[in-house]
Structure 1
Amino acid sequence: MQDNLINYVEFKANDLEAVKTFYSKAFGWEFTDYGPNYVAFNASGLEGGFEKSAEPVVNGALIVLYHSQLETVLETVKTNGGQVVKDIFSFPGGRRFHFKDPAGNELAIWSDQGL
Protein backbone atom coordinates (compact mmCIF):
# COMPACT_ATOMS: atom_id res chain seq x y z
CA MET A 1 0.00 0.00 0.00
CA GLN A 2 1.14 3.50 -0.75
CA ASP A 3 0.33 6.72 1.06
CA ASN A 4 -2.13 9.16 -0.55
CA LEU A 5 -3.56 6.74 -3.14
CA ILE A 6 -7.18 5.68 -3.49
CA ASN A 7 -7.25 2.34 -1.76
CA TYR A 8 -10.90 1.44 -1.20
CA VAL A 9 -14.40 2.50 -2.16
CA GLU A 10 -17.33 2.13 0.19
CA PHE A 11 -21.00 2.17 -0.77
CA LYS A 12 -24.23 2.33 1.23
CA ALA A 13 -26.92 -0.32 0.78
CA ASN A 14 -30.31 -0.96 2.34
CA ASP A 15 -30.21 -4.71 1.61
CA LEU A 16 -26.79 -6.34 1.77
CA GLU A 17 -27.98 -9.73 0.55
CA ALA A 18 -29.60 -8.21 -2.54
CA VAL A 19 -26.50 -6.18 -3.38
CA LYS A 20 -24.24 -9.23 -2.89
CA THR A 21 -26.45 -11.30 -5.18
CA PHE A 22 -26.52 -8.60 -7.85
CA TYR A 23 -22.78 -7.91 -7.99
CA SER A 24 -21.74 -11.56 -7.72
CA LYS A 25 -24.08 -12.68 -10.51
CA ALA A 26 -23.66 -9.64 -12.76
CA PHE A 27 -19.90 -9.10 -12.40
CA GLY A 28 -18.38 -12.05 -10.51
CA TRP A 29 -17.44 -10.05 -7.42
CA GLU A 30 -16.57 -12.00 -4.26
CA PHE A 31 -17.71 -11.02 -0.75
CA THR A 32 -16.61 -11.33 2.87
CA ASP A 33 -19.16 -10.61 5.60
CA TYR A 34 -18.08 -8.56 8.63
CA GLY A 35 -21.13 -8.83 10.84
CA PRO A 36 -24.71 -7.91 9.97
CA ASN A 37 -23.96 -4.36 8.82
CA TYR A 38 -20.92 -4.63 6.55
CA VAL A 39 -19.70 -6.72 3.63
CA ALA A 40 -16.41 -6.27 1.78
CA PHE A 41 -15.90 -7.11 -1.89
CA ASN A 42 -12.95 -8.03 -4.09
CA ALA A 43 -12.34 -9.39 -7.60
CA SER A 44 -13.69 -6.05 -8.84
CA GLY A 45 -10.53 -4.16 -9.83
CA LEU A 46 -10.58 -2.10 -6.62
CA GLU A 47 -11.44 -3.44 -3.19
CA GLY A 48 -14.40 -1.98 -1.35
CA GLY A 49 -17.42 -2.67 0.74
CA PHE A 50 -21.09 -2.02 1.40
CA GLU A 51 -22.30 -0.58 4.69
CA LYS A 52 -25.91 -1.28 5.64
CA SER A 53 -27.97 1.88 5.91
CA ALA A 54 -31.62 2.40 6.83
CA GLU A 55 -31.56 5.83 5.15
CA PRO A 56 -32.30 6.31 1.45
CA VAL A 57 -29.04 6.02 -0.49
CA VAL A 58 -28.01 9.36 -2.01
CA ASN A 59 -24.47 9.73 -3.34
CA GLY A 60 -23.64 6.51 -1.55
CA ALA A 61 -19.98 6.09 -2.57
CA LEU A 62 -17.21 6.88 -0.11
CA ILE A 63 -13.71 7.04 -1.60
CA VAL A 64 -11.11 5.86 0.91
CA LEU A 65 -7.42 6.73 0.69
CA TYR A 66 -4.63 5.00 2.60
CA HIS A 67 -1.95 6.67 4.71
CA SER A 68 0.52 5.02 7.07
CA GLN A 69 0.61 8.06 9.40
CA LEU A 70 -3.04 8.78 10.18
CA GLU A 71 -2.53 11.55 12.73
CA THR A 72 -0.05 13.33 10.45
CA VAL A 73 -2.32 13.27 7.41
CA LEU A 74 -5.28 14.41 9.55
CA GLU A 75 -3.34 17.56 10.41
CA THR A 76 -2.34 18.01 6.75
CA VAL A 77 -5.99 17.77 5.69
CA LYS A 78 -7.03 20.39 8.26
CA THR A 79 -4.11 22.71 7.46
CA ASN A 80 -5.05 22.71 3.78
CA GLY A 81 -8.74 23.52 4.17
CA GLY A 82 -10.31 20.11 4.70
CA GLN A 83 -13.08 19.82 7.30
CA VAL A 84 -12.94 16.74 9.53
CA VAL A 85 -16.49 15.36 9.84
CA LYS A 86 -15.63 12.11 11.71
CA ASP A 87 -12.56 12.09 13.92
CA ILE A 88 -10.26 9.06 14.01
CA PHE A 89 -12.09 5.88 14.98
CA SER A 90 -11.26 2.18 15.01
CA PHE A 91 -12.87 -0.56 12.92
CA PRO A 92 -11.93 -4.21 12.33
CA GLY A 93 -8.57 -4.05 10.57
CA GLY A 94 -7.61 -0.43 11.17
CA ARG A 95 -8.49 3.15 12.00
CA ARG A 96 -9.81 6.00 9.84
CA PHE A 97 -11.30 9.47 9.73
CA HIS A 98 -13.66 11.24 7.33
CA PHE A 99 -13.29 14.74 5.90
CA LYS A 100 -14.90 17.07 3.40
CA ASP A 101 -12.84 18.75 0.73
CA PRO A 102 -13.40 22.44 -0.13
CA ALA A 103 -16.09 21.42 -2.67
CA GLY A 104 -18.03 19.45 -0.03
CA ASN A 105 -17.08 15.92 -1.17
CA GLU A 106 -16.71 13.48 1.74
CA LEU A 107 -13.74 11.12 1.66
CA ALA A 108 -11.99 8.97 4.25
CA ILE A 109 -8.40 8.08 5.01
CA TRP A 110 -7.53 4.81 6.75
CA SER A 111 -4.46 3.15 8.19
CA ASP A 112 -3.56 -0.26 9.49
CA GLN A 113 -0.69 1.29 11.46
CA GLY A 114 -0.87 2.16 15.15
CA LEU A 115 -3.40 -0.50 16.11
Structure 2
Amino acid sequence: MTRTTGTSTWIDASVTDLESAKTFYSGLFGWEFEDLGESFGHYHLVRNNGALVGGLMDVSGMTCPDGEPLVAEWGVHLAVDDVDARAATATSRGARLVMPIEDIGSFGRSGTILDPTEALVGMWQARDLEGYEFTGDPGSPVWFELMTHEFDAASAFYTAVFDANLVPMGEPMDDDSFRYSTNGPGESASWGLGDATGVMPKEATGWRVYFGVEASEAALAKVTELGGTVLDGPVDSPFGRIATIADPSGASFQISAMSEAVAEG
Protein backbone atom coordinates (compact mmCIF):
# COMPACT_ATOMS: atom_id res chain seq x y z
CA MET A 1 0.00 0.00 0.00
CA THR A 2 1.17 3.54 -0.71
CA ARG A 3 -1.37 5.37 1.45
CA THR A 4 -0.48 5.17 5.10
CA THR A 5 -2.77 3.54 7.64
CA GLY A 6 -5.51 5.92 8.76
CA THR A 7 -5.62 7.94 5.54
CA SER A 8 -9.06 8.42 4.01
CA THR A 9 -8.89 6.34 0.84
CA TRP A 10 -12.36 5.29 -0.35
CA ILE A 11 -15.98 6.42 -0.16
CA ASP A 12 -19.19 4.85 -1.31
CA ALA A 13 -22.90 5.51 -1.19
CA SER A 14 -25.49 2.95 -0.19
CA VAL A 15 -28.79 3.87 -1.83
CA THR A 16 -32.26 2.36 -1.99
CA ASP A 17 -33.07 3.50 -5.55
CA LEU A 18 -30.09 3.02 -7.82
CA GLU A 19 -31.50 4.62 -10.95
CA SER A 20 -32.67 7.79 -9.19
CA ALA A 21 -29.29 8.02 -7.47
CA LYS A 22 -27.43 7.77 -10.77
CA THR A 23 -29.69 10.43 -12.29
CA PHE A 24 -29.18 12.68 -9.26
CA TYR A 25 -25.39 12.44 -9.04
CA SER A 26 -24.79 12.59 -12.79
CA GLY A 27 -26.97 15.69 -12.94
CA LEU A 28 -25.36 17.35 -9.93
CA PHE A 29 -21.70 16.44 -10.42
CA GLY A 30 -21.49 14.99 -13.94
CA TRP A 31 -20.43 11.59 -12.61
CA GLU A 32 -20.10 8.48 -14.78
CA PHE A 33 -20.85 4.97 -13.50
CA GLU A 34 -19.39 1.55 -14.25
CA ASP A 35 -21.39 -1.51 -13.21
CA LEU A 36 -18.96 -4.20 -12.02
CA GLY A 37 -21.54 -6.90 -12.71
CA GLU A 38 -23.39 -9.61 -10.85
CA SER A 39 -20.30 -11.11 -9.21
CA PHE A 40 -19.83 -7.80 -7.33
CA GLY A 41 -23.52 -7.34 -6.53
CA HIS A 42 -23.75 -4.71 -9.29
CA TYR A 43 -21.53 -2.38 -7.29
CA HIS A 44 -20.80 0.67 -9.45
CA LEU A 45 -17.51 2.52 -9.66
CA VAL A 46 -17.99 6.29 -9.85
CA ARG A 47 -15.79 8.59 -11.94
CA ASN A 48 -15.64 12.35 -12.26
CA ASN A 49 -14.15 13.41 -15.61
CA GLY A 50 -12.45 10.03 -15.68
CA ALA A 51 -10.99 10.28 -12.17
CA LEU A 52 -12.09 7.64 -9.67
CA VAL A 53 -14.35 9.06 -6.95
CA GLY A 54 -15.75 6.04 -5.12
CA GLY A 55 -18.58 3.54 -5.31
CA LEU A 56 -22.36 3.30 -5.48
CA MET A 57 -24.46 0.31 -4.43
CA ASP A 58 -28.16 -0.52 -4.20
CA VAL A 59 -28.80 -1.89 -0.69
CA SER A 60 -32.59 -2.17 -0.85
CA GLY A 61 -33.63 -5.37 0.92
CA MET A 62 -30.12 -6.00 2.29
CA THR A 63 -29.32 -6.45 5.98
CA CYS A 64 -26.32 -6.37 8.31
CA PRO A 65 -25.20 -9.68 9.84
CA ASP A 66 -27.31 -8.85 12.91
CA GLY A 67 -30.43 -8.54 10.74
CA GLU A 68 -30.72 -4.76 10.78
CA PRO A 69 -31.64 -3.35 7.35
CA LEU A 70 -28.97 -1.36 5.56
CA VAL A 71 -29.86 2.31 5.22
CA ALA A 72 -29.00 4.92 2.63
CA GLU A 73 -25.76 6.67 3.61
CA TRP A 74 -22.31 7.72 2.50
CA GLY A 75 -19.49 5.69 4.01
CA VAL A 76 -15.84 6.59 4.56
CA HIS A 77 -13.10 3.96 4.42
CA LEU A 78 -9.65 4.41 5.94
CA ALA A 79 -6.53 2.74 4.58
CA VAL A 80 -5.01 -0.07 6.64
CA ASP A 81 -1.96 -2.25 6.21
CA ASP A 82 -3.66 -5.42 7.54
CA VAL A 83 -7.44 -5.34 7.83
CA ASP A 84 -7.64 -8.50 9.93
CA ALA A 85 -5.12 -7.25 12.48
CA ARG A 86 -6.62 -3.75 12.61
CA ALA A 87 -10.12 -5.19 13.06
CA ALA A 88 -8.87 -7.30 15.95
CA THR A 89 -7.37 -4.19 17.57
CA ALA A 90 -10.60 -2.29 16.96
CA THR A 91 -12.80 -4.92 18.60
CA SER A 92 -10.43 -5.18 21.55
CA ARG A 93 -11.00 -1.46 22.07
CA GLY A 94 -14.79 -1.57 22.02
CA ALA A 95 -15.68 -1.57 18.32
CA ARG A 96 -18.02 -4.07 16.67
CA LEU A 97 -17.49 -5.68 13.28
CA VAL A 98 -20.74 -5.06 11.38
CA MET A 99 -19.74 -6.09 7.85
CA PRO A 100 -17.49 -9.14 7.59
CA ILE A 101 -13.91 -8.93 6.42
CA GLU A 102 -13.71 -10.17 2.86
CA ASP A 103 -11.74 -9.99 -0.34
CA ILE A 104 -13.26 -7.71 -2.98
CA GLY A 105 -11.99 -9.55 -6.01
CA SER A 106 -8.42 -8.48 -6.72
CA PHE A 107 -9.21 -4.89 -5.72
CA GLY A 108 -8.48 -5.28 -2.01
CA ARG A 109 -9.75 -6.54 1.32
CA SER A 110 -12.33 -4.71 3.42
CA GLY A 111 -14.37 -4.71 6.59
CA THR A 112 -16.68 -2.25 8.34
CA ILE A 113 -16.79 -1.51 12.04
CA LEU A 114 -19.04 0.42 14.39
CA ASP A 115 -16.59 2.35 16.54
CA PRO A 116 -17.11 2.81 20.30
CA THR A 117 -18.85 6.16 19.64
CA GLU A 118 -21.33 4.36 17.31
CA ALA A 119 -19.89 5.76 14.09
CA LEU A 120 -19.56 3.45 11.09
CA VAL A 121 -16.19 3.40 9.34
CA GLY A 122 -14.73 1.09 6.74
CA MET A 123 -11.22 -0.35 6.52
CA TRP A 124 -9.58 -0.83 3.13
CA GLN A 125 -6.46 -2.92 2.55
CA ALA A 126 -5.58 -2.07 -1.04
CA ARG A 127 -4.39 -4.48 -3.68
CA ASP A 128 -5.18 -3.51 -7.29
CA LEU A 129 -7.41 -0.57 -6.25
CA GLU A 130 -5.59 2.02 -4.12
CA GLY A 131 -8.61 4.28 -3.66
CA TYR A 132 -10.13 7.43 -5.05
CA GLU A 133 -8.02 9.91 -6.99
CA PHE A 134 -7.11 13.21 -5.33
CA THR A 135 -7.99 15.96 -7.83
CA GLY A 136 -9.73 18.72 -5.88
CA ASP A 137 -11.96 19.35 -8.92
CA PRO A 138 -15.67 20.18 -8.62
CA GLY A 139 -17.53 16.90 -8.17
CA SER A 140 -14.64 15.26 -6.34
CA PRO A 141 -14.28 14.57 -2.60
CA VAL A 142 -12.45 17.44 -0.89
CA TRP A 143 -12.75 16.66 2.84
CA PHE A 144 -13.85 14.03 5.35
CA GLU A 145 -14.61 14.34 9.04
CA LEU A 146 -15.99 12.52 12.02
CA MET A 147 -18.34 14.62 14.13
CA THR A 148 -18.92 13.09 17.56
CA HIS A 149 -20.26 13.75 21.04
CA GLU A 150 -17.41 11.61 22.42
CA PHE A 151 -14.37 13.52 21.22
CA ASP A 152 -11.87 12.13 23.72
CA ALA A 153 -12.98 8.52 23.23
CA ALA A 154 -12.86 8.92 19.43
CA SER A 155 -9.41 10.51 19.61
CA ALA A 156 -8.06 7.61 21.65
CA PHE A 157 -9.70 4.98 19.41
CA TYR A 158 -8.54 6.32 16.05
CA THR A 159 -5.05 6.91 17.40
CA ALA A 160 -4.79 3.34 18.68
CA VAL A 161 -6.48 1.55 15.77
CA PHE A 162 -5.61 3.71 12.74
CA ASP A 163 -2.37 5.39 13.90
CA ALA A 164 -4.08 8.78 13.66
CA ASN A 165 -1.83 11.80 14.25
CA LEU A 166 -4.43 14.21 15.62
CA VAL A 167 -3.32 17.83 15.56
CA PRO A 168 -5.55 20.46 17.26
CA MET A 169 -6.77 23.08 14.82
CA GLY A 170 -6.68 26.61 16.18
CA GLU A 171 -7.17 27.58 19.79
CA PRO A 172 -9.79 25.69 21.81
CA MET A 173 -12.75 27.59 23.18
CA ASP A 174 -12.39 28.77 26.78
CA ASP A 175 -15.06 26.29 27.86
CA ASP A 176 -13.95 23.51 25.47
CA SER A 177 -17.39 23.76 23.82
CA PHE A 178 -15.90 23.03 20.39
CA ARG A 179 -12.70 21.23 19.53
CA TYR A 180 -11.41 20.17 16.14
CA SER A 181 -8.34 18.16 15.20
CA THR A 182 -6.98 17.02 11.87
CA ASN A 183 -5.27 13.76 11.04
CA GLY A 184 -1.91 15.26 10.18
CA PRO A 185 -0.84 18.90 10.20
CA GLY A 186 -1.72 21.60 7.68
CA GLU A 187 -2.03 20.60 4.05
CA SER A 188 -0.99 17.01 4.79
CA ALA A 189 -4.20 16.46 6.80
CA SER A 190 -6.46 13.73 5.41
CA TRP A 191 -9.56 14.15 7.62
CA GLY A 192 -10.89 15.93 10.67
CA LEU A 193 -12.37 15.06 14.06
CA GLY A 194 -14.85 17.52 15.54
CA ASP A 195 -16.52 17.80 18.93
CA ALA A 196 -20.22 18.01 18.04
CA THR A 197 -21.42 18.43 21.62
CA GLY A 198 -23.82 21.36 21.59
CA VAL A 199 -23.34 21.73 17.83
CA MET A 200 -25.60 18.98 16.46
CA PRO A 201 -27.82 16.21 17.86
CA LYS A 202 -26.24 12.80 18.36
CA GLU A 203 -28.31 11.24 15.56
CA ALA A 204 -26.68 13.65 13.10
CA THR A 205 -23.12 12.73 14.10
CA GLY A 206 -20.81 10.31 12.32
CA TRP A 207 -18.51 10.37 9.32
CA ARG A 208 -19.21 13.04 6.69
CA VAL A 209 -18.04 13.49 3.10
CA TYR A 210 -17.59 16.89 1.41
CA PHE A 211 -17.71 17.32 -2.38
CA GLY A 212 -16.47 20.39 -4.17
CA VAL A 213 -18.80 22.54 -6.29
CA GLU A 214 -18.09 25.64 -8.36
CA ALA A 215 -20.89 27.79 -6.92
CA SER A 216 -23.20 27.08 -4.00
CA GLU A 217 -26.42 28.70 -5.22
CA ALA A 218 -26.33 26.95 -8.60
CA ALA A 219 -25.56 23.63 -6.91
CA LEU A 220 -28.39 24.00 -4.40
CA ALA A 221 -30.85 24.84 -7.15
CA LYS A 222 -29.74 21.73 -9.01
CA VAL A 223 -30.13 19.58 -5.87
CA THR A 224 -33.78 20.60 -5.55
CA GLU A 225 -34.43 20.19 -9.28
CA LEU A 226 -33.03 16.66 -9.19
CA GLY A 227 -35.12 15.49 -6.23
CA GLY A 228 -32.60 15.99 -3.43
CA THR A 229 -33.08 17.96 -0.23
CA VAL A 230 -31.10 20.79 1.35
CA LEU A 231 -30.86 19.81 5.02
CA ASP A 232 -28.74 22.70 6.30
CA GLY A 233 -27.05 25.86 5.06
CA PRO A 234 -25.47 27.23 3.09
CA VAL A 235 -23.10 28.72 5.65
CA ASP A 236 -19.95 30.73 5.06
CA SER A 237 -16.61 29.42 6.29
CA PRO A 238 -12.89 29.90 5.63
CA PHE A 239 -13.04 26.56 3.77
CA GLY A 240 -15.86 27.42 1.38
CA ARG A 241 -19.61 27.97 1.43
CA ILE A 242 -20.97 24.73 2.87
CA ALA A 243 -24.37 23.05 2.79
CA THR A 244 -25.66 19.64 3.87
CA ILE A 245 -27.61 17.69 1.26
CA ALA A 246 -29.65 14.48 1.12
CA ASP A 247 -29.92 12.54 -2.13
CA PRO A 248 -33.29 11.03 -3.21
CA SER A 249 -32.61 7.90 -1.09
CA GLY A 250 -31.79 10.02 1.97
CA ALA A 251 -28.00 9.56 2.00
CA SER A 252 -26.51 12.81 3.28
CA PHE A 253 -23.31 14.60 2.33
CA GLN A 254 -21.82 18.08 2.30
CA ILE A 255 -21.01 20.36 -0.63
CA SER A 256 -18.36 23.07 -0.43
CA ALA A 257 -17.91 25.95 -2.85
CA MET A 258 -14.27 26.62 -2.06
CA SER A 259 -14.14 29.67 -4.34
CA GLU A 260 -16.68 31.31 -1.98
CA ALA A 261 -14.55 30.91 1.15
CA VAL A 262 -14.85 33.78 3.64
CA ALA A 263 -11.87 34.67 5.82
CA GLU A 264 -12.38 34.65 9.56
CA GLY A 265 -12.68 38.15 10.88
2:82 maps to which residue? 69
Counterpart residue identity of residue 121, structure 2: L
- Is the CA contact 2:10–2:124 (under 8 Å) kept in the aligned structure 1? no
2:123 maps to which residue? 109
Which piece of structure 1 moves more, 38-47 or 80-89? 38-47
Unaligned runs of 5+ in 1: none
- Is the CA contact 1:69–1:111 (under 8 Å) kept in the aligned structure 2? yes
Q: Which residue, 29, 36, 40 being the options, matches 2:45?
A: 40
Note the 1:24-63 alignment, pairs <5 A. 24-35=26-37, 37-43=42-48, 47-55=53-61, 58=71, 60-63=73-76
- Is the CA contact 1:98–1:106 (under 8 Å) kept in the aligned structure 2? yes
**Counterparts of 1:77 and 1:21, CA distance in 2:** 37
Q: 1:76 to 1:47 in 2, by over 3 A?
A: farther
1:10 maps to which residue? 12
Q: 1:74 to 1:58 in 2, by over 3 A?
A: closer
Percent sequence identity over aligned pairs: 27
**How many residue pairs get matched?**
113
After superposition, the C-alpha distances for 1:46-72 in whole angstroms (9 at most, x for unaligned) are 822111122487452221111122222
**Counterparts of 1:57 and 1:100, CA distance in 2:** 13
Counterpart residue identity of residue 28, structure 2: A
The two structures have a TM-score, normalised by structure 1, of: 0.79
Which piece of structure 1 moves more, 96-105 or 49-58? 49-58
Structure with higher RCO (Cα < 8 A, 6+ apart): 1
Q: Secondary structure at the match of 1:19?
A: helix
**Structure 2 residue 101 is matched with structure 1 residue 95:** no
Which piece of structure 1 moves more, 97-106 or 57-66? 57-66
Q: Secondary structure at the match of 1:54?
A: coil
Q: Secondary structure at the match of 1:61?
A: strand
Unaligned runs of 5+ in 2: 62-68, 128-265
After superposition, the C-alpha distances for 1:71-104 in whole angstroms (9 at most, x for unaligned) are 2211221232211123311223121111111121
Counterpart residue identity of residue 49, structure 1: G
- Is the CA contact 1:11–1:50 (under 8 Å) kept in the aligned structure 2? yes
Counterpart residue identity of residue 9, structure 1: I
Larger radius of gyration: 2
- Is the CA contact 1:4–1:65 (under 8 Å) kept in the aligned structure 2? yes
Q: Which has the higher strand share?
A: 1
